[in-house]
Chain A
Amino acid sequence: MSAATHAQDHGHHDDHAHHPTGLKRWLFTTNHKDIGTLYLWFSLTMFFMGGVMALLLRAELFQPGLQLINPEFFNSLTTVHGLVMVFGAIMPAWVGFANWLIPMQIGAADMAFPRMNNWSFWLVVPAAILLVASFFVPGGAAASGWTLYPPLIIQQGISIDMTILAVHILGASSIMGSINIITTILNLRAPGMTLMKMPLFVWTWLITAYLLIAVMPVLAGAVTMLLTDRHFGTSFFNAAGGGDPTMFMHIFWFFGHPEVYIMILPAFGVVSAIIPAFARKPLFGYASMVYATASIAILSFIVWGHHMFTVGMPAAGNLFFMYATMLIAVPTGVKIFNWIATMWQGSMTFETPMLFSIGFICLFTIGGFSGLVLAITPVDITLHNTYYVVAHFHYVLVSGALFTLFAGAYFWIPKFTGKMYNESLGKLHFWLSVIGFNIAFFPQHFLGLAGMPRRIPDYALQFAEWNMWSTIGAFIFGFSQLLFLYNMIECIRSNRKAADNPWEGADTLEWTHLPSPAPYHSFETAPVVK
């Protein structure tokens, strides 16, 4: 079955007559592509909101002293920035890609539960509104850091209840989304698409979905206990009533560490699609990539204690979590080596998706190394809750998850829209992002080594120079993201038609069997995969 004939088959099916138009189309849609689009625009919006909060924080940190905002508002901004970026920007963006790509990559017509899919998306919107609206209630938004530790969080007002409700709703949405993704992957694959033939993006999402189902209920439990401690006289986390604040940390991080893999595993999948496409060479070590992803996921459940080395656990606890954490470096290393081996002796070109993927490999590795440094218990003791940690998690989240989201957006937008983005603008976006990002976050390693705590609005004089640079870099990075927005909108509106497969080396079903733009219903008859 050739791509060309198939493309023609679909050209005629692509009529929009059977579904409502305008606002109703989006409100009631059960189509995986519409829902994917909704998720992607939603997450981009949240990304800019979280970004504005980050720039406010960085502006206050430009120099010592309090010039712009007061300490409470600073704490609220930190907290909501963290929550919005994690739950509003990165996670929904991956769900958006999952919606668009999984049915196309496994040869299905749509997701397994289209109505539940609609519900999953429309739940995240009220949750986001609750989070952002909490800035405007008496007492201001949650100011405890995104980790929500009691007893501090018990002291605050109604905004905490709003945050708890938001987390509940987001959890429900994620669980429904995961059930949908798992069912789709396990049941709707085209004939011949065996598990070990699935593209890695599908594999990584399958594993991510299991992680979500395992940990979102745990987070829900933790915040429910906070709620009853606040309002119904329980003492889960209150020592005076026989509870223990440390227990919250254990429960939170039992969710929290797998959560960081929830944000990064799909990124591994995207990079594993892009590197072979631009190296024009098959992915090296496909099977070992699958096993490495699964090992990372399993290990992620037994390392949570590395966030708690300063709690005062017994030596045995500290040692266990140190060893387990160090172990994760092995499968992660395997992935990096496999990507480089894929590039080796390829025939590479460097369009924007490839640039962001290479940027990801370099910078994510730096984040991985700082993670290894932090895994060493004694070293973590001196770096815990300092800017070193802030640098570490921005290297894995921004140059890890976010950069691959950009890579994925540039890579698939021709398939999504049938139009080609502006390559030079894309490259400019990449270079400004890399430069701005490193100016913003590399010096934070030095600040952490010198002992600057995180989540503080004001700092001692010896931290002034690096903080100034960090703020300059943050503004370069922040404003360059407008280029991305412009490039995407301009691409959608342009009439630069994209070929069905604009990338020489891309060989998954959406490129080989579907036209650009992909038809509204992906595969009405399943393709046969050989």
Chain B
Amino acid sequence: MGLDMIRKASRNAALAAAALTASAAAHAAYDVDILPPGSPIAQQIYDLHWAIMWVCVVIFVIVFGAMFYSIFKHRKSVGAKAAHFHENTTVEVIWTVIPFVILIGMAYPATKTVLEMKDTANPDLTIKVTAYQWAWEYDYLQDGVKFNSLLATPRAQIEEWEKKGEAKNPDYLLEVDNPMVVPTGKKVRLLVTSNDVIHGWYVPQLGINQYGIPGFVKDTWFKADKPGTYRGQCSQICGKEHGYMPIVVVAKAPEEYAAWVKEQKAKAPQAAAPAQVAAGSPSTGAVATTAAAPAEDPNRKWTTDELKALGEKVYAANCVACHQATGKGMPPAFPALDGSKVVTGAKGAQVALVLNGKQGTAMASFARLSDSELAAVITYTRTAWGNKAGEVTPAEIKAARKG
């Protein structure tokens, strides 16, 4: 009976704890710990951190225990007389050797984890991650899925300079339009690179923090244990929207993952309105060139209104950060598009500018957008605000890409 009661009590306690953690997860105020690990490496990191923390705490208590004892006992106001010793080789050797031994004890498990982290061999799945100012592009090299992932929090929740912002979403700044989806229990290898400046692909719960460096591809890996959503952010300062390029990884059971891949592929040919999801080059496994645009149905006919509607969305996701929703920009750093000579002038120059960017300025190449998205956003800028220039079609973009 006694046992039973204990069991019951501990179950209740566990339930209460679960409820607490659940609410804590929803709004983890006053969190003081590393987030719960979601991969074997993250688990090792978690254990290493606590092991070292405890060693530090013990040393701290001993050493500062001695110091504060001395502060209370050996003070002039309680009549302490100063001794005169100032050397003792034995103790000095002891307190040089002991820390050294402790450090070796710490280095040993850490070395094992380092070697494991670096072992990217035999992955089940490889995803190329390309960073842009300020978006992530995910290219599933085997499964032939490729899409961009951008911040999904509306600007109205962020900007409060003039008036109080709208109520913030629970996942404020940690939500994206298209998350990276991966199968659980599979070794996922990431090839991380960047198109412009250095960024950092950082998802703490998966134990990954990897710089994306323009011109270089670095690899790392993770394995998500359980289905779930893991959130992170760009970790390396990359310009003004650095705080606004979150990462979301959704781990699904392998069957659900397969279904997701199928769905993405089915969706691709239409290049449906705001979806930046499209099929990449079919599973050749080769590393695609950075600026390869997603493929889409080349025969689709677009009306001007459709282009403008899509263009507004593309603009909101990719251009507002610099050129602003009003099109007024933030001169002198970011020019206005409203009334700009380039925007209202000849199509060719503008298409070339948006496609190739302008070397040495913050205006990057947007070749990663699809033909229709580019046509849409250019059409939108040519017709929005006070601008009254004509539309640009996906076919024209396609021609411009060729050459």
Contacts and interface: CB of A to CB of B under 8 A. Distances in A.
Interface residues of B, number: 107
Contacts of B76: 280, 347-349
B390 interface: no
Contacts of A438: none
Contacts of A315: 114-115, 118
B85 A284 contact: yes
Interface stretch (B141-149, B236-244, B309-317): B236-244
Contacts of B260: none
B34 interface: yes
Nearest to B192: A312
Contacts of A382: 34, 42, 45, 49, 204, 207, 209
A248 to B, nearest CB: 10
B106 to A, nearest CB: 7
A65 B86 contact: no
B247 to A, nearest CB: 11
B71 interface: yes
B158 to A, nearest CB: 6
Contact of A453 (B42, B70, B81, B233): B233
Nearest to B218: A312
A82 to B, nearest CB: 11
Contacts of A384: 200, 209, 235
Nearest to B79: A347
What secondary structure prevails in chain B residues at the interface with A?
mixed
Interface string A311-348: 11011001100110011011001101100111111111
A302 interface: no
B28 A450 contact: yes
Nearest to B41: A378
Interface in B163-182: 165, 168, 170-174
Contact of A151 (B158, B165, B196): B196
A152 interface: yes
B361 interface: yes
Interface in B99-117: 99-100, 103, 106-107, 110-111, 113-115, 117
B29 A462 contact: yes
B344 interface: no
Interface string B199-235: 0101011011111011110111000000000011111
Contact of B27 (A285, A350, A462): A462
A361 B208 contact: no
B216 A246 contact: yes
Given A381-B117, A458-B243, A280 B82 contact: yes
Interface string A122-142: 000000000000000011100
Interface string A55-82: 0000000001111101110010000000
A64 B106 CA distance: 38
B325 to A, nearest CB: 14
B131 to A, nearest CB: 12
Contacts of A323: 107
Given A318-B118, A319-B111, A385-B235, A462 B28 contact: yes
Contacts of A330: 96, 99-100, 103
Contacts of B165: 65
Most A CB contacts (10 A, CB to CB) among B49, B87, B233, B235 go to: B235
Contacts of B107: 322-323, 326
A340 B66 contact: yes
Interface in B74-95: 74-77, 80-88, 91-92, 95
A310 B235 contact: yes
Contacts of B211: 310-312
Contacts of B302: none
A378 B113 contact: yes
A319 B159 CA distance: 44
B266 interface: no
B19 interface: no
A311 B45 contact: no
A527 interface: no
A449 to B, nearest CB: 5
Contacts of A327: 103
B80 A347 contact: yes
Contacts of B383: none
A349 B79 CA distance: 11
B75 A381 contact: no
Contacts of B84: 281-282
Contact of A340 (B67, B333, B362): B67
Interface stretch (B56-64, B251-259, B272-280, B370-378): B56-64
Interface string B358-393: 001110000000000000000000000000000000
Contact of B74 (A240, A347, A459): A347
Contacts of A71: 240-244
A361 B82 contact: no
Contacts of A4: none
A458 B157 CA distance: 11
A189 to B, nearest CB: 22
A209 to B, nearest CB: 26
B36 to A, nearest CB: 11
A495 interface: no
Interface in B332-350: 332-333
B33 interface: yes
Contact of B87 (A75, A149, A284, A343): A284
Given A315-B118, A346-B74, A379-B52, A451 B160 contact: no
Contact of B75 (A349, A373, A458): A349
Contact of A379 (B45, B63, B208): B45
A460 B92 contact: no
A460 to B, nearest CB: 5
Contact of B99 (A66, A329, A361): A329
A285 to B, nearest CB: 6
B198 interface: yes
A424 interface: no
Given A64-B168, A346-B83, A465 B30 contact: yes
Contacts of B170: 461
Given A343-B67, A382-B207, A149 B48 contact: no
Given A154-B360, A382-B34, A465 B215 contact: no
Nearest to A452: B233
Nearest to A243: B215
Contacts of B220: 312
A361 B83 contact: no
A365 interface: yes
Nearest to A458: B243
A435 B100 CA distance: 33
Contacts of B56: 369, 372-373
B356 interface: no
Contacts of A149: 197-198, 236-237
Contact of A465 (B29, B49, B96): B29
A239 B332 CA distance: 28
Chain A CB count within 10 A is highest, among B111, B115, B196, for B111
11 contacts: A149-B236, A152-B238, A284-B88, A330-B103, A346-B80, A348-B71, A361-B67, A379-B110, A382-B34, A450-B31, A465-B30
Given A318-B114, A318-B118, A386-B235, 12 more contacts: A72-B240, A239-B213, A245-B214, A288-B92, A322-B114, A333-B99, A345-B85, A348-B75, A384-B235, A385-B202, A385-B236, A453-B234
Closest A-B pairs by Cβ, 8 of them: A239-B215, A312-B218, A456-B243, A462-B28, A345-B83, A347-B82, A451-B204, A282-B86
